[in-house]
Chains A and B, each alone.
Chain A
Amino acid sequence: MAPVSLEKLTKVYPNGFEAVHEFDLEVADGEFMILVGPSGCGKTTAMRMVAGLEEITSGTLRINGEIMNDVSPRDRDIAMVFQNYALYPHMTVGENIGFALKMKHTPKSEIEKKVRETTEILGLTEWIDLKPGQLSGGQRQRVAMGRAIVREPKVFLMDEPLSNLDAKLRVQMRAEVARIQRRLGVATIYVTHDQVEAMTMGDRVAVMRAGLVLQCDKPQTIYDHPLNLFVAGFMGSPSMNLFEARLGEGATTLFLGTQKVELPPTVLSAKPALGRFANAEVVVGIRPESLAVAGTATGERTEDLVFFEGDVDLVEALGSEILVHFSTDAHRVEAEGMYSDDAEGLDAGSITQRGEGVARVSPETQLVIGEHVRLQVNPKRLFFFDPVTGLALNG
């Protein structure tokens, strides 16, 4: 019996806006479930419905098998970590953490014991008598975590709990939160905007868009086999290059703008659905890391690779790798609302221009802005999508 199960959960706000549409989700015992999606897609709303802070318009919410739709938040036995932590400013760290226990009329001595244990786990013991206003961002975040874990709830809900931390602390807390969750084995729903958090922290990821769940699976599965254009473009940073293209006769050639790329027969045999798109438009997707400058040794046989050309617009050397922004004459495709607010800013400025792409290449590569460049990719790593429905052409 799943600790949390959402069945066709729908939220229509009083102003008539449908923020969540027939949301289905099962979180297994001890599972870490990540919710991602662009801003405004309904992640917070979904989570607040589970918490009982937002009324459920229709559908069924079960926690440990019990229907919870009309149960008040305080009786759901859930804990939540808020984005801004929502620490009680007039209470000390200890009082903040112990508050929920106090509300359950737990004996004082037991509260004290549990609070002490919790602060030890989180390394907060030193600050137990300070008020939230006197703490650093990272410490506050820990208190918020402490407040959640001290209750030993059935479910953890976390709404972008790390987004207010600076980059370094974020990395540190990311590991810590994941560690604590594993250790406690409590089913968790975790909302994030952060690609790395989405890929690394969760057992499964649910990608949402405009109130709908588009795909819910293991992070690597989603990355390797996105079900549609949107998921393909959303997961991954820098995001997948998506170009308008045409398949030629027999789906053995691909026209990228004016460039003709020969596809080896293995491509069609691996993705027979492409046959239906012979002589038709498709969307082709290439992950930036699948691209390399022609001639680079990638451990792949040259005869397995295909090539196309572009002009270098910008070179960003990140130390461990180089991001090459290039343009081709093939039109770039964007799934609506694909890019989240804080899409790492890498190509935020040029994103809307047509024909632009990004390649992630090894740091030894020497490139000059304006240079004409030949790029190589293993056609096995190409993704194809139906330009009308956006569905991946896999089968």
Chain B
Amino acid sequence: MKSAVSREASTPLDTTDSLTPTLRRKRKKGVAGYAFVSGYFVLLILFGVLPAAYAIVLAFTASGGHFTGLTNFIKTGEDFRFLPAFENVGKYLLIWLGSLVVIVLGLALMLHSIARRVSAAFRFIFYLPGALAGAASVLVWLFMLDPTVSPWRLFLGVFGFKNLGQTILPGHLPLIFAIIAFWAGAGGWIVVTYGALNNIPNELIEAAQLDGAGAIQTALRIKLPLIKKWIVFMLILAFAAGTQLFVEPQLVGEASLGLISPTWSPNELAYYFAFQDNNFNYAAAISVDLLVIGLLCAAVLVFRTKLFEVE
């Protein structure tokens, strides 16, 4: 140690570099990492973790703030609007997910078997209505479903619908929302599915053809099994999003002259509890129900599929 010091002291710096040992910065460990993620971390806490935590606290307490255990969950669960709301969403999901599997896969397979250029045009057209997600898509479909103005009026007439009120009867809503969701959302999924199909090595498909499989055989026995994980991915994400239905029943309800319940979906029910009944604890309980569903879906995707490997 001593020799090192004396060596440094006795040797004049023989380079033009003006830095002296004391000026040299020590390497910092790990600090930079925290700095880079800090902004996002704050947002994550404030707008991801805290609200969820706060909702959980509210869900387990009464308006006075004391702990009530599962009371809020039981009370909301026993509410006469609770089951119908989940039933409505359940029916809607059944149709929407079914159409995703059958139609989206079917269309993606068809697109995959035709010329690339043509299929690109189709994909873009199918994807385009995605721009009208949310309120705009509902409005467009209110027009489409109104037999007095709809370009599909002949088609609607076949079913005997004479005015909007008849098309948007409460019993029709799960199907209607599924159509809207499909119109605005299917294109994106077709693009994803098509991309997954494109990732299948060409040799594999050629090998199947040499083995004597026709187009349909190849699709069913080779392509579908190979993109299975994407189908699961699509279904889980669509399911998670579908449970959160809000804007569609809200807007269609607006146009239905009160025929449609303002608590058609669970989110609407939660909203109703919060704003009509001023019962934040009940609202929180339903939010936690939905949160748990969302978390479960995420957990299945993260832990059960290998789609989101981080490093």
Give A69's nearest chain B residue, CB to CB: B27
- Write out the residue numbers on chain B whose beta carbons fall within 8 Å of the beta carbon of A73: 27
Give the residues in chain B near A71, CB-CB below 8 Å: 24-27
A52 touches B27 (CB 8 A): yes
Of A60-68, A122-130, A255-263, the segment with at least 4 beta carbons within 8 Å of chain B is: A60-68
Cβ-based interface call for B276 (8 A): no
On whether the beta carbons of A72 and B24 are closer than 8 Å, the reply is yes
B11 touches A70 (CB 8 A): no
Tell me, in angstroms, the Cα distance from A339 to B7 when the chains sit together: 43
Any chain A CB within 8 A of the CB of B8?
A: yes
What 0/1 pattern do residues 13 to 39 of B give for CB contact below 8 A with A?
A: 011010101001111110000000000
Q: Is the CB of A154 within 8 A of B15?
A: yes
Quick check: is A77 within 8 A (CB to CB) of the other chain? Answer: yes
Residue B4 interfacial (CB < 8 Å):
yes
**Is A65 a contact partner of B19 (Cβ separation < 8 A)?**
no
**Scoring A residues 57 to 88 as 1 if CB is less than 8 Å from chain B, else 0, what string do you get?**
00000001111001111110100000000000
- Interface presence of A351 (CB below 8 A): no
> Residue B26 contacts which of A1, A67, A70, A154 (CB distance < 8 angstroms)?
A70
One digit per residue, 1 when the CB lies within 8 angstroms of any chain B CB and 0 when it does not, for chain A 253-275 equals: 00000000000000000000000
Could you tell me if B4 and A67 are in contact, using CB atoms closer than 8 angstroms? yes
CA distance A70 to B22 in the complex (A): 12
In whole angstroms, what is the CA distance A73 to B27 when docked? Answer: 8
Contact (Cβ within 8 A) B27 A65? no
Number of A positions contacting B (CB below 8 A): 15
Cβ-closest chain B residue relative to A70? B26
B8 close to A70 (CB less than 8 A): no
- Which B residues lie within 8 Å of A70 (CB)? 26-27
Closest chain B residue to A152, Cβ basis: B16
Contact (A75, B8) CB under 8 Å given A64-B15, A154-B15: no
A75-B19 contact, Cβ under 8 Å, with A70-B26, A70-B27: yes
The answer for the CA separation of A77 and B21 in the assembled complex, in Å, is 12
Chain A residues whose C-beta falls within 8 Å of the C-beta of B4 in the assembled complex: 65, 67
**Chain B residues near A65 (CB-CB < 8 A):** 4, 7-8, 11
Known: A65-B7, A65-B8. Contact between A75 and B25, CB under 8 A? Answer: yes
Q: Which residues of A contact B8 (CB under 8 A)?
A: 65-66
Asked if A1 contacts B7 (CB within 8 A), the reply is: yes
B24 surroundings in chain A (CB, below 8 A): 71-72, 75
Q: Which residues of chain A (256-314) have a CB below 8 Å from chain B?
A: none
List of A residues within 8 angstroms of B14 by Cβ? 64
* Known pairs A66-B21, A67-B4; A72 contacts B26 (CB<8 A): yes
A-chain residues with CB within 8 Å of residue B19 when the two chains form the complex: 75, 77
Tell me whether A77 and B17 are in contact (CB under 8 A).
yes
* Bound CA–CA A280/B211 (angstroms): 63
* Binary B-proximity of A3-32 (CB < 8 A = 1, otherwise 0): 000000000000000000000000000000
- A52–B26 Cα gap in the complex (Å)? 11
Residues 240-273 of chain B: 1 if any A CB is under 8 Å from the residue's CB, otherwise 0? 0000000000000000000000000000000000
A28 to chain B, nearest CB (A): 15
Tell me the complex Cα distance, A55–B29, Å. Answer: 10
CB distance from B97 to the nearest CB of A (A): 43
Chain B residue at minimum C-beta to C-beta distance from A62: B4
A308 to chain B, nearest CB (A): 50
Besides A65-B4, A72-B25, 15 more A-B contacts (Cβ < 8 Å) are: A1-B11, A52-B27, A55-B29, A64-B14, A65-B7, A65-B8, A65-B11, A70-B27, A71-B26, A71-B27, A72-B24, A72-B26, A72-B27, A73-B27, A154-B15
